Amino acid sequence: MNCDILSTLYVKSNGEILCNDDFGERVSLGSCRQSADDPDIHQTLNNDRYQNIREALKNDRTPWPEVCENCSFFRPDEPYSNDLLQKRIIQKIQIEASLACALKCPECSNLIQIKTRSGGRHFTPEMMADLLGDLKENHYQIRSIEYCGQGEPLNNPRFPELLATARKIYPDTLQRVITNGNHDFAKTINSEYVEETVVAIDGAFQESYEKYRVKGSITKAFKFLNDAIACQKPKGGIVVWKYVLFETNDSERELLEAQRLGDEFGVTRLWFVHSHTGNRSKKYTYDNPHTIPIQYSNVKIDSHPSYFRHAITIIPDEFPHKITGNDSIKCMIAVDRVVIHENGSINISGWANSQTKLSHVTLEIEDQKVGDLAFVVRRPDAGELYPVFSEVLCGFDSLLPPSAVSIKPGQGMNFHLCSDQDRVATFALAPQVKVIVPSQVPNRISGDNSVVCLMHIDQVLIYKNGSIRVSGWANSQAKLSHVTLEIEDQKVGDLTFTMRRPIINELHPVFTEVLCGFDALLPPSAVSIKPGQVMNFHLCNNQDRVATFTLDLN
């Protein structure tokens, strides 16, 4: 049993931490610190309520009976994973920047919450600094900060300060703003960089738009969308038009007009989203996602999280993320997530890049084609990590229709990286090898408060005969001699530095050592590696262990 609350933190405008942004809003898990005597966030994440969630999910019990069953984030079929306390990786902090909103959307709980919730209506930069500062001190990684809740984030008069505070404390964390766009861009975002701006505009015409977005102006929302495109896209930001499908905005004419406008404006993506409310579109539903008339490749079909309850998510740890093409061209692929929906359609997101121009990726299972993945998402992170690639539009995030070929966990998938004429390279999941992909684990650690250490595992291959191949790099301000790998406190072997990795020094000038890469084949060990176990990588100098990096095999 699983739930993403153990990798997500949902913080209300008044500082309360609740059990996610749905039915679980009835359950309080703690609060941001009001005074120095209050528990800090690390203590909160280990309080009795969080322990109850962990123990219940591990033992296939619902943490909050009669609540979880109604919650969009409940995943009864998925194995337990994502323990935030153990891994110290927060996939998302969702901040309700403001509970105020000028619009009156009929299905929104905003008015009830304003009447029933006590405390502040706007989350303050001071609360943000305290929360993030605590997380930083406790060595948490934060993958994204999302501004969204039961109010409109940009109604917070100090919104640019929230963005700036987060940027200062966690400079590399992705920030995502979800807004109704009925705002002046210059006043609400100012010059702050936002990696992802999602503007919810449910319609292409004012008459249908205002049937749900009551009191909203589509002209204002379009202006905001265009300003966001002009300001954020040149900096590498993504700007998404999110269009929830209702009975009142699902005519073919309107869906085609939205696509035409999206193309004219230059949105990164246009999402059509299936709603779960009473006024949802009955024509275009979760059960027939591919009947929407689509004319542009940047359109994405998505569904409210409640539809994902019985989906199977294949964890990307099972995919190698690195391949080389025909001896001369470097190619790489990273699969972030594969979701096999109950209705047979398949969501696949990730990126692929090559030194030669790619046109798409073709997915085959057991030699039968499942579909093509188009490059519709800008992934500047791929180029930053691997400067050998110059193409930024290398991300895919596709919903493939139900296929004659069913995908099951453990089956062999072939991803063919294609140019217009040819297959440039193929990435296959070798069934006899268990592959652990590093993107899912922390790749950054600090030593004993004074020595900066970083580590990155490119990949771990566990062969059927028990030998283990580990490649990656480790560097430190202190001289390192080797890395020792232990599993469950038993030594498996030493990784010696045999490869020059000058790019690491360019990326992190704090380090001077260039010979910091390893690519070692460790012999079969008395310690076998199984999912659920923990690998410890100890960064050592001749006398001592300088720091330890933990990789959880869940």
Q: Which helix (H) or strand (E) holds 549?
A: strand 545-552
Polymer length in residues for the chain: 554
Contact between 476 and ligand SF4 per CB under 6 A = no
Distance, in Å, from the CA atom of 297 to the CA atom of 356, rounded to the nearest integer, reads 21
Structure token digits, residue 246? 């209702």
> In this complex, which beta carbon is closest to ligand SF4, that of residue 55 or of residue 107?
55
CB of 463 to ligand SF4, least distance (A): 37
Distance, in Å, from the CA atom of 209 to the CA atom of 217, rounded to the nearest integer, reads 8
Contact between 308 and ligand SF4 per CB under 6 A = no
> In this complex, which beta carbon is closest to ligand SF4, that of residue 24 or of residue 493?
24
CB of 69 to ligand SF4, least distance (A): 8
CB of 64 to ligand SF4, least distance (A): 5
CB of 108 to ligand SF4, least distance (A): 19
Nearest to 91 by CA among 54, 130, 136, 141: 141
User: Which 3 state secondary structure label does DSSP give 57?
Assistant: helix
> In this complex, which beta carbon is closest to ligand SF4, that of residue 2 or of residue 141?
2
> In this complex, which beta carbon is closest to ligand SF4, that of residue 45 or of residue 189?
45
CB of 468 to ligand SF4, least distance (A): 35
Question: How distant is the alpha carbon of residue 109 from its chain centre?
Answer: 26
Task: Specify whether the CB–CB gap between 91 and 8 falls below 8 A.
Answer: yes
> In this complex, which beta carbon is closest to ligand SF4, that of residue 75 or of residue 242?
75
Determine the residue type at 179. Answer: T
Would you give the DSSP letter of residue 215? T
Question: How distant is the alpha carbon of residue 17 from its chain centre?
Answer: 20
Contact between 93 and ligand SF4 per CB under 6 A = no
CB of 87 to ligand SF4, least distance (A): 17
CB of 245 to ligand SF4, least distance (A): 24
Nearest to 492 by CA among 413, 551, 433: 551
> In this complex, which beta carbon is closest to ligand SF4, that of residue 64 or of residue 518?
64
Interaction mask 27-56, ligand SF4, x per CB under 6 A: x-------------------------x---
Structure token digits, residue 468? 């283990």
> In this complex, which beta carbon is closest to ligand SF4, that of residue 9 or of residue 53?
53
> In this complex, which beta carbon is closest to ligand SF4, that of residue 38 or of residue 69?
69
CB of 6 to ligand SF4, least distance (A): 8
* Adjacent-strand bridge partners of 490: 487
Would you give the DSSP letter of residue 538? E
> In this complex, which beta carbon is closest to ligand SF4, that of residue 68 or of residue 516?
68
Judged by CB under 6 A, the residue of 1, 3, 218, 470 near ligand SF4 is 3
CB of 79 to ligand SF4, least distance (A): 15
> In this complex, which beta carbon is closest to ligand SF4, that of residue 5 or of residue 166?
5
* β-pairing verdict for 269-274 and 299-303: parallel
Contact between 149 and ligand SF4 per CB under 6 A = no
Judged by CB under 6 A, the residue of 50, 74, 185, 351 near ligand SF4 is 74
Instruction: Give the Å distances, CA to CA, from 128 to 9, 350, 382.
Output: 13, 31, 29
Distance, in Å, from the CA atom of 349 to the CA atom of 397, rounded to the nearest integer, reads 4
Task: Specify whether the CB–CB gap between 2 and 53 falls below 8 A.
Answer: no
> In this complex, which beta carbon is closest to ligand SF4, that of residue 68 or of residue 400?
68
- Angle of the 218-232 helix axis to the 252-265 helix axis, nearest 10: 30
Judged by CB under 6 A, the residue of 11, 15, 73, 424 near ligand SF4 is 73
> In this complex, which beta carbon is closest to ligand SF4, that of residue 53 or of residue 201?
53
Number of Cβ within a 10 Å radius of residue 506: 10
Would you give the DSSP letter of residue 98? B
Contact between 132 and ligand SF4 per CB under 6 A = no
- Please work out, in degrees rounded to the nearest 5, the angle formed at the alpha carbon of residue 402 by the alpha carbons of 238 and 368: 100
Phi-psi region of 63 (alpha: psi -120 to 50; beta: other; left: phi over 0): alpha
Of 252-271, binders to ligand SF4 (CB under 6 A) are none
Task: Specify whether the CB–CB gap between 351 and 378 falls below 8 A.
Answer: no
CB of 67 to ligand SF4, least distance (A): 5
State which residue has the least CB distance to ligand SF4. Answer: 24
Task: Specify whether the CB–CB gap between 338 and 357 falls below 8 A.
Answer: no
How many residues interact with ligand SF4 (rule CB under 6 A)?
15
CB of 155 to ligand SF4, least distance (A): 25
CB of 254 to ligand SF4, least distance (A): 34
Contact between 5 and ligand SF4 per CB under 6 A = yes
- Angle of the 159-169 helix axis to the 125-137 helix axis, nearest 10: 10
Distance, in Å, from the CA atom of 195 to the CA atom of 386, rounded to the nearest integer, reads 19
CB of 140 to ligand SF4, least distance (A): 19
Instruction: Give the Å distances, CA to CA, from 43 to 46, 54, 170, 445.
Output: 5, 15, 20, 21
Instruction: Give the Å distances, CA to CA, from 340 to 17, 274, 297, 406.
Output: 31, 17, 21, 9
Contact between 428 and ligand SF4 per CB under 6 A = no
> In this complex, which beta carbon is closest to ligand SF4, that of residue 45 or of residue 370?
45
CB of 76 to ligand SF4, least distance (A): 9
Judged by CB under 6 A, the residue of 1, 9, 19, 334 near ligand SF4 is 19
Of 52-71, binders to ligand SF4 (CB under 6 A) are 53, 63-64, 67-68, 71
Distance, in Å, from the CA atom of 268 to the CA atom of 225, rounded to the nearest integer, reads 11
Contact between 1 and ligand SF4 per CB under 6 A = no
Contact between 153 and ligand SF4 per CB under 6 A = no
> In this complex, which beta carbon is closest to ligand SF4, that of residue 6 or of residue 540?
6
Residues contributing to the site for ligand SF4 (CB under 6 A): 3, 5, 19-20, 23-24, 27, 53, 63-64, 67-68, 71, 73-74
